[in-house]
């Protein structure tokens, strides 16, 4: 799902949530496509944050630098997901080149370890 916005807010409902257990690592990827003719995907800066509600401060955040066949890839470590409580969380991946901002939201359903 590609979500290009001007205000950093996603403009479509994300796909169904991925399910992980507390303390389980989680690999993710996102595909961004530059909107302008002169933009190059490698010129963008990528970051992510994990939060439960839109107004929350991010519980987990960081930068991404890994490009793989046009996809930005990253992972949440076991230590990072151990910080999350049971419930629905939003992984927000952003790409910016200073003039353009694209945002993707992936939902993560965190559950207890059995």
Q: Where along the chain do its domains lie?
A: 4-111
CA distance 53 to 3: 19
CA distance 30 to 37: 21
Q: Is the pLDDT of residue 3 over 60?
A: no
DSSP state of 81: H
CA 88 to chain centre: 14
Q: Are 92 and 74 in contact (CB under 8 A)?
A: no
DSSP state of 67: E
The pTM for the full model equals 0.80
Structure tokens at 38: 């002169």
pLDDT in tens, 11-55: 555 578 899 999 999 999 988 876 665 667 777 899 999 999 989
Task: Please state the CATH superfamily assignment of the domain spanning residues 4-111 in this structure.
Answer: Immunoglobulins (2.60.40.10)
CA distance 38 to 27: 30
């Amino acid at each position: 799902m590609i979500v290009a916005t001007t205000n950093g807010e996603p403009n479509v409902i994300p796909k169904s949530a991925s399910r992980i257990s507390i303390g389980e690592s989680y690999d993710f990827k996102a595909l961004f496509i530059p909107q302008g003719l002169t933009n190059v995907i490698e010129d963008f800066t990528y970051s992510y944050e994990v939060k439960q509600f839109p107004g929350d401060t991010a519980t987990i955040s960081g930068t991404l630098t890994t490009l793989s066949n046009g996809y930005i890839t990253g992972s949440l470590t076991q230590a990072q997901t151990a910080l999350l409580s049971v419930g629905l969380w939003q992984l927000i991946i952003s790409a910016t080149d200073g003039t353009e901002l694209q945002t993707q939201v992936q939902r993560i359903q965190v559950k207890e370890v059995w």
